[in-house]
Structure 1
Amino acid sequence: MTTTLSGTAPPTVENLLALAPSSASLLAPIAVLLAALYVWGAMRLWSQRRRWSILRTISFLLGCVLLFLTGGLGLNTYGSLSVAALVFQQITLMTVVTPLLIVGSPGRLLLRATPHRGLGVFALRVAHAGLRSRLARAVLHPVVAILVAAALYLGLYLTDLVSVIIRLPAGHELLLLTFLISGTIAAVPLWSSDPLPRTPSYAARLIDVIAEIQIHAVFGLILLLSSTPLFVAFTNPTIGWPIDPLRDQAIAGTLAWTYAELPLLIVLIVTLSRWRSRDLTLADRRRDQDDAEREEYNAYLATLNQHDR
């Protein structure tokens, strides 16, 4: 690995994908802890001959792997030096990692696998209290997901607040944790099958997805079409790097325009499919109910005819 005068090697594919334990984010140990707790819960259910989905387990563990790689690869080293690297981390955390974790239904596993004694009782009480709290109900409102996306893409970057935060001693780490937490809040109403204090309608989910797609598109186009660097913290090119700030910025815009949209398009398709299936099911039930009422009425008329005879 060849270093530049800045002390950081150029962002080649090899350097981006290399494990970098010395500069790893807190995301890496968090991923290991989450995976260990989830596997413990799943193994506990299986050892008791109780069902737990293999597909959910795979989804959650895949999310943990991506979370670990986002914070543990060389990519993390460049997150405070390259806006493209930072945006890639943000998109991965907010639109890829969090859906995979949520599809794993960790909340349901917590309620089913936690022992009903000792510290387990306390954990279950906290979980139930959280589910029933007004704060949880407010946070899971569909409008909040739209506001989160607008704040962390348009607000954070177009005001150049990102430059202020990234220059703080732990600014990059703060941003990554914010992306993970905010991404979870935004993704739960769209992806979760766990018991929630608020379940959004399909119409609300559809509006949410379309709004987020538009936010990503606007953000990406602004970065792609800008003829001047937008971010003070990423303006001065690192000596020895093969890319300039405008190219770096354009790469970030391309990621927002493409990579960020794919998971949302999947949600859009799934939401429309489930909405249609629900409407068909309701129509079938209504038809069955009408048929039953019609048969009952015909039987009543037949009874009247018998009495008249």
Structure 2
Amino acid sequence: MPVTPTVPSPAALAAYHGPPAFGWPSAAGRWTFDPALVVFAALAAAGYLLALARVRRAGGRWPVARTLSFLVPGIGLAVLAGLWWVGVYARVLFWDFTVQVILLLLVAPIFLAFGRPLTLVAAGGGRSGRFVDRVRASGPFRIASHPAFGPLLVPVIVCAVYFTGLLAAAQRDAGVAEIIQVALLLTGFVVALPLAGEDAGTSTTSLAIAGGMFFGVLELLLDAVPGIFVRLRHGLLAPGYYASLHRPWGPSPLNDQHVGGTILWTVAEVVDLPFLVLLVRRWIKVDAQEAARVDRELDALTLAQPAFAASSSADGGTPGAGAAEEAERTRPWWETDADYFGGSRAAQFRRAGAERNPTEPS
């Protein structure tokens, strides 16, 4: 796709007050200050480390990988999205703003969630741990952490950012932009809750995750719609702002928007694939847990049956034979019958039925 650079004019140069022309490697050395993201990152990191210290003082253990996931790519990417070149050019380049949205909504929150901060605080006990337990047991949290909730939420948030007045407001007002950035991080964290297992088992039935898989595939299709719409649109999304920007370098505002639409379309689809992979892994894990629980319940029911040894002795059988026969009856057919679909076992039961009812046709 061709990118047509604008030709700087003396009037445009005088009216423009943004950062210098974007280019590598000079852009990598440009930084800005984002108070909201700095405060958010500092509070999140401090809270996580305090909870970690509380768990260790109580004699508990916590995986190092979770701590690194939260602090390094989680907090780190969130800070870089606001303070590094992404934050510097987000208000003058539409495609750069799109990169920032993707980082804050779909990338950094995954690493934050895999740090399991809620589980860490709950493991530390105390008032904060009890508060987290109450929150995770609440109805709103159960809804938010349902595997089907996140896939439906992402397209709604993306459309709200791009196709309402939020886009122009965020570009004109730094305070609004900072609020939106933190909101994107929190929303992305909610989306990643079931992937990281932070739902505390409230919604992690295999059926719920299967529903989440369905909506995840649906999201894969829906996520393409905003990007396609932005890419093919012939008018600016925030014309009042971008027309008055007077940026004397780089692509024209419309070409810039088309590049941003392509990034939103492509990257959003690519990022969705790891979401689905993680959801499949979560599905397999929960299904195995459910199978183990069912096995334990069946074993408990078998052990709770009346003593078969006594009944066998009363019938003149060998003591313990009844229990052995019952255990044999409760075993799955595939453990004792190598034939497909239990053919040998079915024939055995047909013969036994014919012997008990000789007058009935076989």
Q: TM-score, length-normalised on structure 2?
A: 0.68
Match of 2:47 among 37, 41, 52: 37
Instruction: From 85, 110, 115, give the equivalent of 1:74.
Output: 85
Residue from 141, 155, 175 that aligns with 1:170: 175
Matched, 1:50 2:60: yes
Q: Distance in 1 between matches of 2:129 and 2:327?
A: 54
Question: Equivalent of 2:261, from 253, 268, 277?
Answer: 253
User: d(CA) in 2 for partners of 1:147 and 1:98?
Assistant: 17
CA distance in structure 1 between the aligned counterparts of 2:147 and 2:179, rounded to whole angstroms: 25
Deviation digits for residues 60-82 of structure 1 (CA, Å, limit 9, x no counterpart): 11201111111211321322222
Tell me the residue number matched to 2:317: none
Residues of 2 paired with 1:281 and 1:173: CA distance? 42
- Structure 2 counterpart of 1:150: 155
* Aligned amino acid, residue 40 of structure 1: L
Pairing of 1:192-211 with structure 2 (within 5 A): 192-195=197-200, 197-199=202-204, 201-211=208-218
In 2, Cα distance between the equivalents of 1:40 and 1:240?
48
Amino acid at match of 1:10: A
Distance of aligned partners of 1:274 and 1:199 in 2 relative to their CA distance in 1, 3 Å threshold: closer
What displacement does 1:144 show? 4.0
Q: 1:165 offset after TM fit, Å? A: 4.6
For 1:89-121, what per-residue CA distance to the aligned partner results, in whole angstroms no more than 9, with x for missing partners? 11111111111001100011112235x3xxxx2
Matches within 5 A, 1:100-179: 100-113=111-124, 116=126, 121=127, 123-142=128-147, 144-159=149-164, 161-168=166-173, 170-179=175-184
Match of 1:243 in 2: 251
Please say which of residues 156-165 and 205-214 is displaced more in the overlay: 156-165
Find the partner of 2:195 among 190, 194, 210: 190
Deviation at 1:176, TM superposition (A): 1.1
Change in 2 beyond 3 A, CA 1:38/1:234: same
Write the distance in 1 (CA, Å) between the matches of 2:289 and 2:199.
22
Distance 2:178 2:74 in 1: 19
Shift of residue 27, structure 1, vs aligned partner: 0.8
Query: What do the CA deviations read for 1:145-198 (whole angstroms, capped 9, x no partner)?
Result: 344322222243234542245334622112212211222222223333452644
Alpha-carbon RMSD across the aligned residues, in angstroms, is 3.4
Match of residue 325, structure 2, among 296, 301, 304: 296
User: Which residue in 2 is equivalent to 1:228?
Assistant: 235
Residues 125-151 of structure 1 deviation map (CA, whole Å, 9 limit, x = unaligned): 432332233332343345543443222
Task: Compare 275-284 and 65-74 and name the one that shifted more.
Answer: 275-284
Is contact 1:94–1:182 with CA below 8 Å preserved after alignment?
Answer: yes
Tell me: CA distance 1:64–1:81, structure 2 relative to 1, closer, same or farther (3 Å): same
Moved more, 94-103 or 250-259: 250-259
Rate the CA distance shift 1:286–1:239 in 2: closer, same or farther, 3 A.
Answer: closer
- Indicate conservation of the 8 Å contact 1:28/1:68, yes or no: yes
After alignment, is 104-113 or 31-40 more displaced? 31-40
Check conservation: 2:31, 2:84, Cα contact below 8 A: yes
Greater mean alpha carbon deviation, residues 97-106 or residues 269-278: 269-278
SS of 2:154's equivalent in the other structure is helix
Return the letter of the residue paired with 1:42: L
Aligned to 1:265: 273
* Letter paired with 2:171: I
Deviates more, 1:261-270 or 1:58-67: 261-270
Q: 2:219 aligns with which of 204, 212, 220?
A: 212
Question: C-alpha separation between the residues in 2 aligned to 1:90 and 1:51?
Answer: 35
Q: Quick one: percent identity of the two aligned structures? A: 25
Summarize the Cα distance change of 1:131–1:271 in structure 2 as closer, same or farther, 3 Å threshold.
closer
Residue among 87, 95, 106 paired with 1:84: 95
Distance 1:169 1:42, change over 3 A: closer
Q: Is the 8 A contact 1:25 1:71 kept in 2?
A: no
**Aligned 8 A contact 2:152 2:219 in 1:** no
- Structure having the higher Rg: 2
1:181 to 181, 186, 211: 186
Q: Is contact 2:227-2:261 (8 Å) kept?
A: yes
- 1:304 corresponds to: none
Q: Distance in 2 between matches of 1:276 and 1:108?
A: 21
Mapped partners of 2:25, 2:137: distance in 1: 48
